[in-house]
Structure 1
Amino acid sequence: MAKQTTGGAGIQQAGLDFLSVLKKNNNREWFNAHKDDYLQELKQMETFADALLADLSVHDVIETASGKQSLFRIYRDTRFSADKSPYRTYWSGGFKRATQQRRGGYYFSIEPGASFIGGGFWGPVADDLRKIRDDIAFDPAPLQKILNSKSFKSTFGTLEGEQLKKAPRGYDPAHEAVDLLRYKQFLLMRRFTDEEVLSPQFRKEAGKTFAAMRPFFDYMSEILSTDSNGL
Structure 2
Amino acid sequence: MSATVKKTTPAGASTVRLSSVRVMVGGCLVDGRSLCLLPSDRHHRYRPRSSYPSPQPTSHLAMTAAYFTPHTFSFLSDLAANNNREWFLANKSRYEADVKEPALRFISDFSMPLEGMSPHFRADPRANGGSLFRIYRDTRFSRDKTPYKTATGIQFRHEAGRDAHAPGFYLHIQPGDCFMGCGSWRPGGPALRKIRESIDEDPQAWKRASRGARFRGTFELSGDSLIRAPQGFRVDHPLIEDLRRKDFIAVAQLSEDDLMSDDFLDRFTALCRTAAPFQRWLCRATGVSY
TM-score scaled to structure 2, two decimals?
0.70
Residue matched to 2:286 = 224
2:205 is aligned with 1:147: no
Cα distance, 1:23 vs. partner?
Answer: 1.1
* Cα pair distance change 1:5/1:75, threshold 3 Å: farther
Given candidates 148, 158, 181, the residue that maps to 1:97 is: 158
Q: 1:78 and 2:135 equivalent?
A: no
Which digits, 9 at most, give the CA deviation of each residue in 1:54-108, with x for residues without a partner? 32122111334336421111111112111111111112111122358xx721111
In structure 2, do the counterparts of structure 1 residues 5 and 214 end up closer, same or farther at CA, with 3 Å as the change threshold?
A: farther
Structure 1 counterpart of 2:40: none
Aligned position for 1:55? 113
Q: Are the aligned partners of 2:218 and 2:252 in contact in 1 as well (CA < 8 Å)?
A: yes
| Count of residue pairs the alignment pairs up | 222
What residue number does 2:71 align with? 14
Tell whether the 8 Å contact from 2:167 to 2:185 is kept in structure 1 after alignment: no
Q: TM-score, normalised by structure 1?
A: 0.87
Separation of aligned partners in 2, 1:5 and 1:109:
28
Match for residue 45 of structure 1?
103
1:110 is aligned with what amino acid?
Answer: I
What RMSD in Å do the two structures reach over aligned CA positions? 2.3
**Paired residues of 1:9 and 1:48 also in contact (CA < 8 A):** no
Residue 26 of structure 1 is matched in structure 2 by 83
The answer as to 2:277 corresponding to 1:215 is: yes
5+ residue gaps, structure 2, are 1-28, 34-63
1:135 is aligned with what amino acid? S
1:113 aligned counterpart, secondary structure: coil
Q: Percent identity?
A: 32
Letter of the 1:20 counterpart? S
Structure-2 separation of matches of 1:199 and 1:98:
30
Q: Aligned-pair distance for 1:184? A: 1.2
CA shift in 2, pair 1:8/1:117, >3 Å: same
Aligned residues of 1:90 and 1:109 also touching (Cα < 8 A): yes
Q: Partner of 1:92: helix, strand, or coil?
A: strand
Q: Moved runs in structure 1, 4+ residues, more than 6 A?
A: none
Change (3 A) 1:202 1:67: farther
